[in-house]
Amino acid sequence: MSLLVKICGLSTRETLDVALEAGADMVGFVFFPPSPRHISLEAARELGGRAKGRAVKVALTVDADDATLENIVETLRPDILQLHGKETTARLRDIKQKFALPLMKALPVETAADLAALPGYAGVADRILFDARAPKDATRPGGLGAPFDWHVLENLDLALPYMVSGGLNAGNVAEAVRVTRAGGVDVSSGVERTPGVKDPELIRAFIRAARATDPSSPLPVYGERSTAQRAGG
């Protein structure tokens, strides 16, 4: 299976188009006001329309209530809900039942002890995202540009698809994939010139570097979708 590449925190037509044309498999939209990548429902409607059928649309939320999720689902029509807060397994089951969408649960990682919660989440979620644990004084749980020790996942035995995030960039993505054997990578701050402002060249460079880690996943030519997308993501 080809490596999945997700560009998260997209908020403008220009950078979304760059990500799509460069062959991103997933595009993420952040609905969390404290984040510099937060977008309005109006912007999400437009960007979601541009991404439809070209990449998997991911809606990132943090401990969102049902009303917030309902507005996001109705507006963006996401393919996956990414839950990046302290949602419990019971909350995941509730969301899945109410919205009938695949769930990707972010799990903050610093040490091997942080994997203790994994079995519970793996029983409900459709995909796991391992992200760096935020500092205690952080105002948001992700997108902080800090990697975690990938060797924590080195001997991971997980049947569920999983991705890695946290401090990834074009220079270290190959090593992250080699160590973790992840089926996907997720980047946000690593393709920005300033917090929340994506850089088109950094997006292209990251996708090129990620594709180079997997010989079965060549860089698509302009306008062409990757192997993973043609197979349905």
**Closest C-alpha among 116, 115, 96, 114 to residue 104:** 96
125 strand-pairing partners: none
Distance linking the first and last C-alpha atoms of the chain:
10
Contact 76, 57 (CB under 8 A): yes
Query: Active-site residues: which are they?
Result: 8, 131
CA distance 198 to 104: 23
Long-range contacts, stretch 93-98, CB < 8 angstroms, 24+ apart: 93/124, 95/69, 96/124, 98/66, 98/69
Q: Sign of the C-alpha dihedral, residues 99, 104, 108, 112?
A: positive
For 227, other C-beta atoms within 10 Å of its C-beta total: 16
